[in-house]
Structure 1
Amino acid sequence: MIRKHTMSITAITLLLASPLAAQEATTPQMTPEMQAMMEAFQKAGTPGAEHQKLASLAGTYDLTIKGWHTPGGEPTTDTGTATRKMVLGNRVMVEDVTSQMMGQPFNGHGMHGYDNTTGKYWATWNDNMSTGLMVSEGTCDAKLTCTYTGSHHDPVTKKPQTTRMTTRWTDANTELFEMYGPGPDGKETKMMEITYKKRGQ
């Protein structure tokens, strides 16, 4: 009886394995080129040390926002909050900002990442005062002192406009963001400064 039962299990196993064996026989083997492509994609998509640095920025921040509407003039000052969190398997940091701007409610949404392929950091930004998108790319050092160059379309001229942005940490819990763009004379001028103060520190 035991022998008969064992033979039945063996028969069932062979029957189930037959389609799998047939499938494996018809599946083409990966060529060296295909293997190299797969490894390249895996390397490009695997989070690394740069993504861990971005993850260290996760949290809630209180903001002090200064804006210059004329070069050398007195800035306007507003306050706000920002939340930062990692998404997509710790590959991308999402930032959501709530504040006031020119007396109006302001909401902004940014994404920050590091591209293993290009070896550069990147960022996007859009908000409730525009239907456009700013795309930036730059470099950061080990202390996350960064310089980005961004591009968006100017609403007045309808032409692409380039801005330069820098970030640096003035202490362990305080980040300073600065944005520069062309003034009326075409020369670079400071447009915005945001001080991020991390909560719970």
Structure 2
Amino acid sequence: MSTLPVCVALLAAPVLFAQDAPPEMEKPGEHHAHLKMLAGTWDVKSKMFLITGEVLEGRYVETATLLDGGFWLVSNLTGKFMGTPFHGHSVLGYEAHKKQYTGMWVDSFASVMLLSKGYCEKNGKVNIMIGTSYDPMQKRNVTIKMVTEIKDANTKILRMFDVQGKKKTLVMEAVYKRRIGPLNKGAKFNGPFTHTIAGLGGVHYYLGGPQQARPPEGKFKPGTRVKLIRKNGSYCVVKSETGITAHVATAALKPIAE
């Protein structure tokens, strides 16, 4: 049997594929955009509720970064628990073909991995994950329900429940506060001032810019004195008398008469 037809087919394959349009790369969707609200540097205070009734508190810092491409949020948590250094690492993303969020967690206290899957509610402001793992202290398989609620642009709360059949027990609660850089939240600023905030209702300000994925961080009251730092078209950067450097709508500024 001649192998010539097979060889010809193999040689022709690259040419045939080259004539076709290259496959389109996957693009981030709505659920991937929700991950942006969880990104940033966060100061964390946690409470762990033991079956004995004792409550153990911990303090940590989480750094959460959205990988290039926008599909996966990678987080590192560091701190101390009961005087012992603690390091946790997680990955969270949305698998579009499965129509579900997928996550994993490992830490420096055990050799086990927590794998989870879930969904979101309220336009991504509530993320619900169900995970399975093994508890080496209780020596049993566990099912953990994790609910992350975004309270505002700078606050999120994580609650973890131990699920055994129809029984659900709160085992941990952590409050995350976004760490804002010193250029954005400083001591009171004494001027000189170039403008005041006009209007009856004041104006929202954005620390990252009006295009940021999260909501505005706050609102300047009418009459707040500011110094114009930089104009960016319909928005500009100002520094307020309260020490906040942020983006505001240019139309909301009223020049101070000399």
Report the TM range for the smaller structure's normalisation. Answer: 0.7 to 0.9
CA distance 1:88–1:172, shift in 2 (3 Å): closer
- Match of 2:102, SS? strand
Q: What's the Cα RMSD here?
A: 3.0
Shift of 1:95: 0.5
CA shift, 1:159, in A, is 3.9
> Residue in 2 aligned with 1:154?
135
Deviations 1:52-77, CA, capped at 9 Å, x for gaps = 22123221000001101126x24211
SS in 2 for 1:129: coil
User: Larger % of helix: which?
Assistant: 1
Scaled by the length of structure 1, the TM-score of the pair is 0.74
Instruction: Number of aligned residue pairs: give it.
Output: 170
TM-superposed CA distance for 1:87, in Å, is 1.4
- Report the 3-state secondary structure (helix = DSSP H, G, I; strand = E; otherwise coil) of the residue aligned with 1:56: helix
Give the direction of change, closer, same or farther, for the CA distance of 1:24–1:133 in structure 2 (3 Å limit): closer
Matched, 1:110 2:90: yes
Runs of 4+ in 1 over 3 A off after TM superposition: 22-25, 156-159
Q: 1:154 to 1:186 in 2, by over 3 A?
A: farther
Instruction: Indicate the residue corresponding to 1:26 in structure 2.
Output: 12
Name the structure 2 match of 1:13.
none
Report how far residue 158 of structure 1 moved: 4.4
Shift of 1:187: 3.5
2:196 paired residue number: none
Deviations 1:105-127 (A, max 9, x none): 11000000001011111110000
Identity %: 29
The answer to whether the Cα contact below 8 Å between 2:76 and 2:90 also exists between their aligned partners in 1 is: yes
Amino acid at match of 1:101: F
| 1:28-177 equivalent positions in 2, closer than 5 A | 29=16, 45-70=26-51, 73-141=53-121, 142-156=123-137, 158-177=139-158
Q: What's 2:160 paired with?
A: 179
By how many angstroms is 1:152 displaced? 0.3
Give the Cα–Cα distance (whole angstroms) in 1 for the partners of residues 48 and 138 of structure 2. 21
Read off the aligned partner of 2:40 and give its amino acid letter: G
Partner secondary structure for residue 38 of structure 2: coil
Alpha-carbon displacement from aligned partner over 1:2-23 (angstroms, at most 9, x marks no partner): xxxxxxxxxxxxxxxxxxxx99
5+ residue gaps, structure 2, are: 1-7, 181-216, 218-258
Aligned residues of 2:37 and 2:153 also touching (Cα < 8 A): no
- Which digits, 9 at most, give the CA deviation of each residue in 1:105-154, with x for residues without a partner? 11000000001011111110000001111001111121420211100012
TM-score (norm 2): 0.58
Instruction: Indicate the structure (1 or 2) with the bigger Cα radius of gyration.
Output: 1
Which fold has the larger relative contact order, with Cα–Cα distance below 8 Å and residues 6 or more apart in sequence? Answer: 1
